[in-house]
């Protein structure tokens, strides 16, 4: 796990019919949240960027995954000595200082509470001797349920 279960919080009192998404809130105590562009610079209010977290709840990295740790856990350019965790989530600051979730940078999806990396499934499928290529997509049904669909090209 990269950090605690949450680094932001938002109290919801009423949900207007016109709302399209709920904010994920503001940083909790002992957490700092940044929304950065591809050059690790702060995004202005309203601009979408990668949600990054630092503070006491951020771990030191992934166990036995030094390559991924080096990409995802970087020195915090705004607080020397702290680690900044790049979540892979896209977000934007709203005018009231809350944060709105805007999607993912990668193909990671959440199904039944589990984060799933579609690229990893594709790579595993492509390891099979009879598979030439594979594409994996997530599909959300009208019922709200989600499924993962794999499309394979066989070797001839």
Q: For position 130, which CATH number holds?
A: 3.30.300.30
Q: Measure the CA–CA gap between 28 and 137, rounded to whole angstroms.
A: 34
Query: Do residues 125 and 71 both lie within one domain?
Result: no
Q: Measure the CA–CA gap between 147 and 112, rounded to whole angstroms.
A: 10
Query: Do residues 20 and 65 both lie within one domain?
Result: yes
Query: Do residues 26 and 92 both lie within one domain?
Result: yes
Q: What percent of the chain has pLDDT over 70?
A: 95
pLDDT digits (tens, 9 = 90+) for 15-24: 777 766 777 8
**Contacts for 14 with CB less than 8 Å, ≥ 6 apart:** none
Question: Cβ(49)–Cβ(91) under 8 Å?
Answer: yes
Query: Do residues 17 and 56 both lie within one domain?
Result: yes
Positive or negative torsion for Cα 33, 36, 42, 46: negative
Query: Do residues 82 and 113 both lie within one domain?
Result: no
Domain extent at residue 58: 8-104
Query: pTM for the whole thing?
Result: 0.69
| Residue 43 in domain | yes
pLDDT digits (tens, 9 = 90+) for 122-146: 999 999 999 999 998 888 777 777 8
| Residue 81 in domain | yes
């Amino acid at each position: 796990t990269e950090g605690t279960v949450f680094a932001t919080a938002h109290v919801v009192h009423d949900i207007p019919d016109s709302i399209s998404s709920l904010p994920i809130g503001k940083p909790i105590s002992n957490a700092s949240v940044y929304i950065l562009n591809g050059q690790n610079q702060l995004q202005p209010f309203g601009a979408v960027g990668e949600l990054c977290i630092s503070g006491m709840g951020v771990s030191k990295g992934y166990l036995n995954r030094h390559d991924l740790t080096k990409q995802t856990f970087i020195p915090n350019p705004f607080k020397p000595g702290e680690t900044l965790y790049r979540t892979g989530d896209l977000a934007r600051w709203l005018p009231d200082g809350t944060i709105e979730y805007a999607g993912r940078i990668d193909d990671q999806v959440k199904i039944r509470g589990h984060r799933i990396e579609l690229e990893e499934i594709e790579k595993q499928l492509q390891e099979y001797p009879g598979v030439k290529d594979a594409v994996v997509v997530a599909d959300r049904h009208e019922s709200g349920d989600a499924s993962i669909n794999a499309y394979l090209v066989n070797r001839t």
